[in-house]
Amino acid sequence: MSGNNLTPEEELVSGRGEDLYKTEAQETSRARRHRATKEFLERANCLRVNGSDCSSSSGPLTWNTAVKFLMARKFDVQRALQLYQQHEITRRKEGLCNFDITVEPLRSELATGKFTILRCRDVSTGAAIALFSARKHDPRVSTHQTTLQALVCQLDAALQSSDTQRHGLIFIYDMTDSLYNNFDYQLSQKILTLLKGAYPARLKKVLIVTAPLWFKAPFKVLRLFVREKLRDRVYTVTLSELAEHIPKKCLPINLGGEMIIDHETWLSKCIPALTAASETCNDLGNHAVLAQKDMEPPLESFGDQQDEQKEAGSPKNSERRVTSSAHDLVNGGDATSPEFSEDEDSSNDDSESEQELHDAEDDLQTLDHRGSVGSSATASSSTTLAAEPSVSLEGVDTTEDSVTTAQKRDENAVVNGLNGHVQTSQSRGSPCAVELASLEPSLHTADCSGFTLDQFVEHLKHKARLGLHTDYMQIKNTPPPGTFDNSRRRCNQLKNRYTDVLCLDHSRVILSDTSEEKHNDYINANFVDGYKQKNAFISTQGPLPHTSPDFWRMIWEQCVVVVVMTTRVVERGRTKCGQYWPEIVGNTMRFPACTVTNIEVHHDSDYITTTLRITDLKSGESRLISHFQFSSWPDYGVPESAVAMLDFLVRVREAQASRTEELGPIWRGHELGPPIVVHCSAGIGRTGTFCTLDICIRRLEDTGVIDVRGTVEKIRSQRAYSIQMPDQYVFCHLALLEYALLTGKMPDADLTGFEGDASDSD
């Protein structure tokens, strides 16, 4: 190899022009690194030729690219190859290949300046300094892919500097003046995962500046996904503490420093590298090399900008100063509003539609299952307060009349107003005044099953996300323990929002029925036990316009004082639930058996609380209902953090306690009060998630043990198909871990590898 043809990276390895490599030991080290580079190239190019990596190019890697990966792993060939492979996988997975910085929406994303490389290096380490300004990020406008593309293409340009390869990178996550709406938990996790195990830059430290109080729990959870080595490099600091990590002269003015952010000049220096031909999937190979001085804007421009920025007191007024070389990039047009690409949520249908629910086809095959109810489902029965019998249909006429005959009761019997059990006229009383089955044993008890918190963390590490998905599929493939005969009766079919989400007969809520036809006792709702509380919940579908009267009849008869709604009326342009309550204060909706009046509405950032008064038209009696609507569940997937849902759970339980106390002596059932009605659209996905979290949290508080799988299986034995998607099942696990961290039950944990990512940077 001729010395005249050596690139700067080859010189770095071979030692030409370097004063550092003059001793025999240094010559040996130089030779070792040279051999490592050759070995890396041979093995990496073999992977490329055999198609074992994710690169779209079959051409060989260059020496330059090999050095980048080797330096990130201290010339350990095996670890560098693992980093290279993970890097290619991540690029392909996140859509970070072959992007064009001159077209929307990437062009406008770059122009926001939310991510930039500062012109000054850290004095003590020589590391380049990257800055992400959270206040400039709007998750509603920028997709994960676009934001990551803008971040990666700038990192690619910065990594052309041999100084950056040698000394690494410091990442500043500035949360100054940011709001909860600016925070994107999943994006933050992707950035951290990329930097720590899928990008050839040596991540020295992560500095989170002026983190607000609400960031406490998400930060603790984010730290779970990194190894101890990197975890010790992640800091939350105030503005004054930031100067202890980076000298003020290397910090921008808005972070208490002395430097001016000149993002447009930085972009103008990036353009030659960003538009260069790609050697690998990642555009790392053929960029022009940018020395440290090339990363600095012209000194003569500092004076005017510094005066302007000091006048403004923040960088906001100077963000859009454009140098001529970057003008076309940052001013070429307005940003578009790209569509999000995350997986869809649990319910995918209109309320008016009969098409199947997303991800429910396999479950539907079990709807024709016939057989007796499992023991777990019948544990609540007793001789004096018998649940509705389950009818085996083998060898039995299954006509509508035969089903009706099999379920006839004593003519003097009425449905108990609290728990759906039959009670004769001799013992009937006011609907909310009878001690009934709420005092019977619950399916969820303080048994010995489950994990302690330490065991739970180890369980998550062992299973990882894919393992939990496998567990969920095992649960999903288990047939429901019962029949759906009442739901399938001709007179009830139109009362089901979805034709494939039906009620198990043994746990369904039975409405009082005074009609001669005896066909008016059905509603798509099931009793679900809570922790040490029989029938703690009623899981139900979002009411249809024609089933809203039945919904309010159930509320009155079951003495319900709290309703939890985990969907919006319309999501993604589709009706998910009828408007069954008056939205405006002072308005009243009239139904055949009752009126419902809006007394008060309170808006929080994540939910809406409405106080309603329900009045029974027959008796003239009334009571107050607390209606909670959780509004922060995303249109796709599950929440990125459980903080909002955990706070929502607390508020619901507080309202349940206060409303139960208001009932006074007319409630003589379980101390936790009447059933809480919970619904989403189908009444199985988000509804099941809510019930699972409540049960698991109460058990954790009582015994220190967690059993998510057992809880879900028991809930599904009463409300079939609860927890509708694997991501909801995973969310329950991570939410419980987040709860344990929030409440101080465990100081920290290590979930390295949960997402299947690679090792940290050195």
How far apart, in whole angstroms, are the C-alpha atoms of residue 162 and residue 168? 10
Strand partners, 172: 131, 207
Helix/strand/coil percentages in the chain, nearest 5: 40, 15, 45
Q: Which two tokens stand for residue 622?
A: 């009334």
Catalytic status, residue 680: yes
Residue 497 in contact with residue 679, Cβ under 8 Å? no
- HSE (CB half, 13 Å, CA atoms) of 398? 14
Number of H helices, E strands in the chain: 23, 18
Q: Which of 503, 577, 680, 691 is catalytic?
A: 680
Residue 599 in contact with residue 585, Cβ under 8 Å? yes
Residue 559 in contact with residue 535, Cβ under 8 Å? no
- Smallest Cα–Cα separation from 680: which of 571, 599, 521? 571
Provide the b/e sequence for 358-372 (b: ≥16 CB within 10 Å).
bbbeebeeebeeeee
- Residue 378 sits at φ, ψ, to 5 deg, of -105, 10
Asked whether the CA dihedral 105, 111, 112, 114 is positive or negative, the reply is: positive
Tally Cβ neighbours within 10 Å of residue 499: 18
Q: Which run of H or of E encompasses 66?
A: helix 63-72
Provide the b/e sequence for 437-462 (b: ≥16 CB within 10 Å).
bbebebbbeeeeebbebeebbebbbe
Report the alpha-carbon angle 108-109-111, nearest 5: 60
Q: At what angle do helices 726-742 and 453-476 cross, to 10 degrees?
A: 160
- Smallest Cα–Cα separation from 250: which of 265, 236, 261, 238? 261
How far apart, in whole angstroms, are the C-alpha atoms of residue 49 and residue 684? 48
Residue linked to tokens 């990130």: 72
Active site residues: 680
